[in-house]
A and B are shown apart, each in its own frame.
Chain A
Amino acid sequence: MALFLLQRLAVLAATLVVASLVVFAVMEILPGDAAETMLGPTATPEAVAALSHKLGLDLPLSVRYARWIAGLARGDLGVSAAYGSAIAPLIGASLLVSLPLAAMAMALAAAIALAAGVYAADRRGRAGDAAVMGLTQIGLAVPNFWLAILMVIVFAVTLRLVPAGGFPGWGDPARAVAALILPAIALGVAQAAILTRVTRSALLEALNEDYMRTARAKGLSRRAALWRHALPNALVPVLTIMGLQFANLIAGAIVVENVFVLPGLGRLMLQSISNRDTLVVEDGVMLIAVLVIGLNFLVDVACAAIDPRLRQRAA
């Protein structure tokens, strides 16, 4: 296991270096810079050059990359050109919305998928299975912004159960959670549908294995054999998909954040891109990359903890 962890950590570090280079390069290629955007189309070239110099935009590429990485390593994310304030608290505040939102959506999806996936696999080919599969089709087909708007109309405007949008901050945790419930559902439904299908098919595969017949021959009931022997074997593909989904939920919530007027990471990124606030975008994207890569690392470790053959293969 130690060797396995070491290997995975090396891969993690290498991936992060490549990701940082890509992020930096893409932002360099984008036309326009913060100085031009801040000063507007009427600015003189001299004024733009002066501001560029002040922001450090006229330094060579390699120097700026090195400064950026050194800053990241120290936890100094730099200063936003557009807001004129430190970037770290800016991104930190947005993460306080995005991470709990993603976690709630993921928890919802996992709970639904486990229950519905096991239920459908256990009743393969029968009415219950067909109903679950039909519901997942609908879950996949419904666009999340449409579902978001519909829920706002029903639960916020008509029934007045939860706020329609905005985020009150974590000073009042109950209100903060209430503000995230509808967005979490809007985001979670499609993920639940995907994860249900993955859980069902992974379970069906496991149920067909010879060791399931062995488990029954030992005297386990069908249900006990399913929970004790089939489900752990189905967990590796399910966890792998969950890792990808969580990353998607952190970075891909822009539309839903806009519907609910949530100050999340997606909205911050969108605004910074239109402001050409390069450094904020670079830091934000890099942070997302770190989260995604870190999460995949955790998923790999979890899968290896479940399946001894994965530890063996890596060593």
Chain B
Amino acid sequence: MTLLAVEDLTVDLPAADRAVRLVDGATFRLRAGESLGVVGESGSGKTMTALALMGLQPPLARVGGSIRFEGRELVGLDEDAMRRIRGDRIAMIFQEPMTALNPLVRVGAQVAEPLVLHRGMSRRAAGAEAARLLAHVRLADPERAARAYPFELSGGERQRAMIAMAIGCSPRLVIADEPTTALDVTVQARILALLDGLRAESGMALILVSHDLAVVAGHCDRVAVMYGGLILESGPTDVVLRRSRNPYTRALLEARPEPGAPRGARLKTIPGSPPHHRDVGPGCPFAGRCALTLDVCRSARPPAIAFAAGHVSRCFRAAELEDAA
């Protein structure tokens, strides 16, 4: 069953002279219980895509296209109806658990807040439920964590509390925006394992936004690679990773450190730097850094070309790129 169908999503931010397109024609689907990784460098539009799904884009930004969630169109939905979906049907986990929690409010009360809001629970009942949720995300001492203020917890504990807050109302979709970027590598692995476990037991779908291809590869059924506001390639994770049909994805894969590589060996890099969204021309945003650029790449947006198993690549030369990775 399709839980979320995003069709040609655009986010425009009005600037001094003209609108700047931050997300350009994002299209993807998510079934219940499925996980989608959205990968991209900073400024690629991945966070803006996530915020648009929540209806939390910046006040002046305009969202176009279609977001159908549980059969309901979210683009243009009035704020009151959107507010009832947020935190209840769709929840979000943010990058920095230190700053994403209110420093003045006890963790338990913050975890309880969505329950009071969406379930109409009394503060006392929600507080008890919050302690249960904190135990559920395997915080060592949930009673203590509930009474603690955010600054009294470690980074990993705070992120677990964030997750407890997100899953309180049993959302059907959880969007995690770089949930482990601010954490140590070992803590990172445990948080990701926790998210996997919660998804398996509750059947919620997960969108994992990350700049780290390895994180996404290990934890997502499907992956979407974003660059300059465009989803350049998407499809089942193993297909995209093994048989990528997009030069940008391939460049990213080649830039990964390889186990067993000789000590001191230099990592491959992509020459140049990503374009600022103001400088994205009419063509492919990657054209300036791509080794395979044709004249047409600079003058027209590459079309989305579909391959087997829901594999889609936006590249004029996608058909030529076969099994080369």
Contacts and interface: CB of A to CB of B under 8 A. Distances in A.
A214 B86 contact: no
Interface string A192-214: 00000000000000000111011
A34 B117 CA distance: 69
Nearest to A229: B102
Main SS of chain A's interface residues?
Answer: helix
B235 to A, nearest CB: 28
A213 B86 contact: no
B83 A211 contact: no
A210 B96 contact: yes
A217 B54 contact: yes
Given A308-B149, A309-B149, A219 B94 contact: no
A209 B151 contact: no
A279 to B, nearest CB: 47
B94 A233 contact: no
Contact of A219 (B87, B99, B100, B102): B87
Contacts, number: 74
A216 B85 CA distance: 11
B118 interface: yes
B120 interface: no
A216 to B, nearest CB: 6
A211 B100 contact: yes
A306 interface: yes
Contact of B99 (A210, A215, A232, A309): A210
B127 to A, nearest CB: 16
Nearest to B166: A217
Interface in B78-135: 79-80, 83-88, 91-92, 94, 96, 99-105, 113-114, 117-118
Contacts of B91: 217
B100 A233 contact: no
B19 interface: no
Contact of B56 (A210, A216, A221): A216
A307 B104 contact: yes
Classify chain A's interface size. Answer: 20 to 34
B165 interface: yes
Given A217-B91, A219-B118, A308 B104 contact: yes
A74 interface: no
A54 interface: no
Contact of B86 (A210, A218, A233): A218
Contacts of A153: none
A213 B88 CA distance: 15
B56 A217 contact: yes
5 contacts: A214-B165, A215-B102, A219-B85, A220-B117, A307-B103
Given A214-B162, A232-B105, A233-B104, 6 more contacts: A210-B100, A214-B92, A214-B165, A218-B117, A219-B83, A307-B103
